[in-house]
């Protein structure tokens, strides 16, 4: 049974019935792999204009070997994916805050204080 999925203007097909055998054509290149990998490849092509083969998304070498840490500060989660001291980040009301953890905490204190005064 042939299955078709349309993802961001591309037709992704499974003609064999095997769950991990999805194919599409990106920039004239025929690609195949799991549905998730093929979708990521299409997303990369559309968002970055860079062709990446779907198998690169599943290889262990493509996954970073860093430890991610997070900290809950006054109800907000501050994250650091790289482990470096100045690469903490927080998404606050659609705004990305980046820097060291101390600076982000100071900014959050100011925002919370300003919000308390407004109420």
Q: Quote the tokens at residue 52.
A: 């990446």
Look up residue 94 and give its DSSP letter: T
Domain assignments of the chain as residue spans, ordered by start: 3-62, 69-118
Higher pLDDT, 61 or 20: 20
Q: Quote the tokens at residue 46.
A: 């559309």
Segment 93-103 mean pLDDT: 89
With cut-offs at 50, 70 and 90, classify the pLDDT of residue 113: very high
Spatial separation of the C-alpha atoms in residues 24 and 43, rounded to whole Å: 13
Nearest to 87 by CA among 63, 104, 73: 104
Sheet holding 29-33, edge to edge: 3-7, 10-14, 22-26, 29-33
With 90 as the cut, is the pLDDT of residue 28 above it?
A: no
Hey, what's the torsion of the CAs at 94, 100, 103, 108, to 10 degrees? 40
Residue 62's pLDDT is what? 47
Report helix, strand or coil for 27: coil
Percent of the chain clearing pLDDT 90 (strictly above): 34
């Amino acid at each position: 049974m042939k299955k078709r999925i349309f993802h961001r203007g591309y037709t992704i097909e499974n003609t064999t019935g095997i769950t991990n055998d999805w194919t599409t054509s990106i920039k004239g290149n025929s690609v195949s792999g799991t549905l998730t990998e093929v979708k990521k490849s299409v997303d990369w092509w559309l968002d970055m204009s860079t062709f990446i083969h779907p198998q690169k998304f599943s290889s262990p070498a493509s996954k970073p070997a860093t430890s991610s840490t997070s900290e809950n500060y006054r109800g907000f989660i501050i994250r650091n994916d790289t482990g470096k001291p100045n690469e903490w980040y927080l998404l606050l009301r659609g705004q990305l805050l980046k820097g060291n953890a101390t600076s982000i905490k100071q900014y959050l204190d100011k925002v919370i204080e300003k919000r308390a005064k407004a109420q």
